[in-house]
Chain A
């Protein structure tokens, strides 16, 4: 995120000549759409569209659609499944299928591999033979998963992102408590983002006021002090916080030496440490929009209010604050939205129960290779962020495009 994005933007719209500027930026918009919008859309579509199982089981899918009813199907469907599995085995695609099926039905991986091996060896294998090779195939749950899986469009992953699932009876139920994780993590992500936003606002507002009232040379010097860490990589700053916050680190040493603490505080791998580090990293993002608005304020307005009889506090409240509010909201919103996507700092400084939703998305992308689940979680995060932004603009009258 660059400074330019934090600065107020002006886009004229709704006028008759409004079309011409749009034409001028059309190539840029097109480039953005192609290089940014399309890949995001392609990735997010994996949350709804998962064709792996349907692709691996075309004959089973056809046989299932012609036979009616639920539960374990008849021999004809099993023969179709055997043919599908044998073909997948020959094409070396059975492993991908087994993995993706295992996501929907944990423990199914090795059973599917065994069934495929049996089907490849014996082309005339029947229902009993397949069930003998893979007992799971005699289970209704397995067939419910197959029936759901041959549908390329799925709600499985999105429901999962809300700790929900389809029950065997076809209604939506909540996941067992020991597996329900995402609602809690989303809640925690929003809570930490809100706490950090409040902390940065508390620091940034007085600081921005101070800088905007300093002589230009001094103001420049203080701004550089604020911006210097801003230009350092997040990873480096997070590592620096580790040195400061750890049990035998600088802060604990200082507190003990000053006699302010009896014991060494547990700041690393804790929420307190995480909020301290995130607040430090986010401070410039909150400060700069506020500062840019404050700097453009005319001090004569306050003097005018006071000369008309307002007390300093009233003048500040009625004249100053309303005018800087857009900057405060913009800075707060920017920090809040950036905090929602934090990943490195919670991973390095936060404890196990301080991991934000991005850490889970990263885990699904990097470790589990379950990109569908990662897409579903990203989708929820993105839509809730956009929703929040829409709420802000609607109820608080904030419009980033109109400010300035």
Chain B
């Protein structure tokens, strides 16, 4: 036997022994949409859960795109156990068969969740607001409603909006005089869609489009735009932590929910369910607000919200004077069509 062979044998042996090491601590991998929000999730939930259960919590970041999850599921290689997704993405992922249908007996009683936050394939994480934000040192006169984004006379300059039809079409109809209660009824008709796009036409050349939640504070900070639509927590984070002179306009906000789901083929299914049931405890659910001002989706969590957090939440009484709750079912039915229409409109 030559030296090389001996060495190879020894290495193979070592490799086998290495494989037989006792199994490492359990691991749970989550793929989330990053930024200040994911940092808050980590502090409020991931780290306490990991400590409590003695597991390792791995994090990955992505853009919230279902394509990535679909590719994982279709190739049978699913390295994540939990994914954070938007509500409309939950419906789409359910339809496409890439998210598992949740067994709520392993999580919590469905009736404890706010309406529309305990879906078949996704469970709510938090409540956030789509709001308007601006830099107080740039705009001398404060906008009073999200709809002021359509007023280019009073507020000249570029404004940023999310590059998607959702929310923008709703706001366009509101700005065009449709009562909030009728928004989705009107938007379900071709004439209503035309009307919304016509309203958006009036500011089209002034719009900078953002795609990731971290962009609105950046666009404001670089003074690229004078105002932007945004998720309230990202702006609050820039105000509180980065000491930016930004302000939030709550009137006519659109209230939305973040969701979490399990992709089909997730390897640590039991642990994923354990995490979901852990986060569905009222006192745990209310913790997120300490790190980013998003509210809990559990009805019984309200008493646990820290007192200094409450006024910053989208659900604070002062902020609920004129608002719309985003309609998931509507976007499930019409999303694909409206996205195509929106892309065609962008390209014109």
Q: Do A and B come from one complex?
A: yes
Which of B1-9, B271-279, B327-335 has 4 or more CB atoms under 8 Å from chain A?
B327-335
Contacts of B92 in A (CB 8 A): 99, 369
Does A184 contact B348, Cβ atoms closer than 8 Å?
yes
Q: Is A355 an interface residue (CB 8 A)?
A: yes
CB proximity to B under 8 Å, residues A222-277: 246-249, 266, 268-269
Contacts of A269 in B (CB 8 A): 208-209, 224
Does B345 contact A178, Cβ atoms closer than 8 Å?
yes
Min Cβ gap B32→A in Å is 16
Contacts of A295 in B (CB 8 A): none
Contacts of A249 in B (CB 8 A): 222
Using an 8 Å CB-CB cutoff, how does the interface string of B50-93 with A read, 1 for contact, 0 for none? 00000000000001011110100000000000000000000010
Does B97 contact A246, Cβ atoms closer than 8 Å?
no
Does A96 contact B96, Cβ atoms closer than 8 Å?
yes
Known: A95-B94, A96-B96. A370 touches B344 (CB 8 A): no
Q: Is B41 an interface residue (CB 8 A)?
A: no
Total of A-B residue pairs, C-beta within 8 Å: 96
Does B222 contact A352, Cβ atoms closer than 8 Å?
no
Using an 8 Å CB-CB cutoff, how does the interface string of A351-382 with B read, 1 for contact, 0 for none? 11101000010010111111000000000000
Q: Is A397 an interface residue (CB 8 A)?
A: no
Question: Which B-chain residue is minimally distant from A373 (CB atoms)?
Answer: B340
Q: Is A66 an interface residue (CB 8 A)?
A: no
Contacts of B211 in A (CB 8 A): 347
Does B343 contact A181, Cβ atoms closer than 8 Å?
yes
Question: Which B-chain residue is minimally distant from A268 (CB atoms)?
Answer: B224
CB proximity to A under 8 Å, residues B203-252: 207-209, 211, 222-224
Does B333 contact A107, Cβ atoms closer than 8 Å?
yes
Question: Interface residues of A, CB < 8 Å — how many?
Answer: 39
Contacts of A103 in B (CB 8 A): 336
Cα separation A319 to B223 with both chains bound (whole Å): 54
Known: A248-B223, A269-B208, A369-B96. A363 touches B336 (CB 8 A): no
Contacts of B68 in A (CB 8 A): 366
Q: Is B270 an interface residue (CB 8 A)?
A: no
Min Cβ gap B227→A in Å is 14
Task: Choose among A93, A102, A365 the residue that contacts B97 (Cβ–Cβ < 8 A).
Answer: A93
Q: Is B110 an interface residue (CB 8 A)?
A: no
Cα separation A142 to B96 with both chains bound (whole Å): 21
Contacts of A179 in B (CB 8 A): 340-341, 344
Min Cβ gap B185→A in Å is 15
Q: Is B318 an interface residue (CB 8 A)?
A: no
Q: Is A14 an interface residue (CB 8 A)?
A: no
CB proximity to A under 8 Å, residues B172-204: 194, 197
Min Cβ gap B202→A in Å is 15
Task: Choose among B66, B97, B345 the residue that contacts A95 (Cβ–Cβ < 8 A).
Answer: B97
Known: A96-B95, A110-B329, A366-B65. A246 touches B224 (CB 8 A): yes
Q: Is B347 an interface residue (CB 8 A)?
A: yes
Cα separation A365 to B336 with both chains bound (whole Å): 13
Contacts of A185 in B (CB 8 A): 347
Question: Which A-chain residue is minimally distant from B164 (CB atoms)?
Answer: A367
Contacts of B95 in A (CB 8 A): 95-96, 98-99, 109
Cα separation A95 to B90 with both chains bound (whole Å): 12
Min Cβ gap B209→A in Å is 5
Does B67 contact A369, Cβ atoms closer than 8 Å?
yes
Question: Which A-chain residue is minimally distant from B120 (CB atoms)?
Answer: A95
Task: Choose among A96, A106, A188, A360 the residue that contacts B336 (Cβ–Cβ < 8 A).
Answer: A106
Contacts of B337 in A (CB 8 A): 106-107
Does A366 contact B347, Cβ atoms closer than 8 Å?
no
Cα separation A357 to B197 with both chains bound (whole Å): 23
Cα separation A110 to B343 with both chains bound (whole Å): 23
Contacts of B344 in A (CB 8 A): 178-181
Q: Is A92 an interface residue (CB 8 A)?
A: yes
Q: Is B17 an interface residue (CB 8 A)?
A: no
Contacts of A268 in B (CB 8 A): 208, 224
Cα separation A355 to B209 with both chains bound (whole Å): 12
Question: Which B-chain residue is minimally distant from A181 (CB atoms)?
Answer: B344
CB proximity to A under 8 Å, residues B24-69: 63, 65-68
Does A352 contact B223, Cβ atoms closer than 8 Å?
no
Does B222 contact A370, Cβ atoms closer than 8 Å?
no
Known: A107-B337, A367-B339. A99 touches B96 (CB 8 A): yes
Contacts of A181 in B (CB 8 A): 340, 343-344, 347-348
CB proximity to A under 8 Å, residues B130-183: 158, 163
Question: Which A-chain residue is minimally distant from B347 (CB atoms)?
Answer: A181
Contacts of B224 in A (CB 8 A): 246-248, 268-269
Does B223 contact A247, Cβ atoms closer than 8 Å?
yes
Contacts of A365 in B (CB 8 A): 67
Cα separation A259 to B308 with both chains bound (whole Å): 50
Does A107 contact B334, Cβ atoms closer than 8 Å?
yes
Cα separation A179 to B94 with both chains bound (whole Å): 27
Q: Is B346 an interface residue (CB 8 A)?
A: yes
Cα separation A180 to B344 with both chains bound (whole Å): 6
Using an 8 Å CB-CB cutoff, how does the interface string of B94-134 with A read, 1 for contact, 0 for none? 11110001000000000000000000000000000000000
Question: Which B-chain residue is minimally distant from A109 (CB atoms)?
Answer: B333
- Would you give 14 A-B contacts (Cβ < 8 Å), ordered by A? A95-B96, A95-B97, A98-B95, A99-B92, A106-B337, A179-B340, A181-B348, A184-B347, A248-B223, A268-B224, A352-B163, A352-B347, A353-B348, A367-B66
Other than A249-B222, A363-B343, give 18 A-B pairs with Cβ distance below 8 A: A95-B95, A96-B96, A110-B332, A178-B194, A178-B341, A178-B345, A179-B340, A181-B343, A181-B347, A184-B348, A188-B347, A248-B224, A347-B211, A360-B343, A365-B67, A366-B65, A366-B68, A369-B67
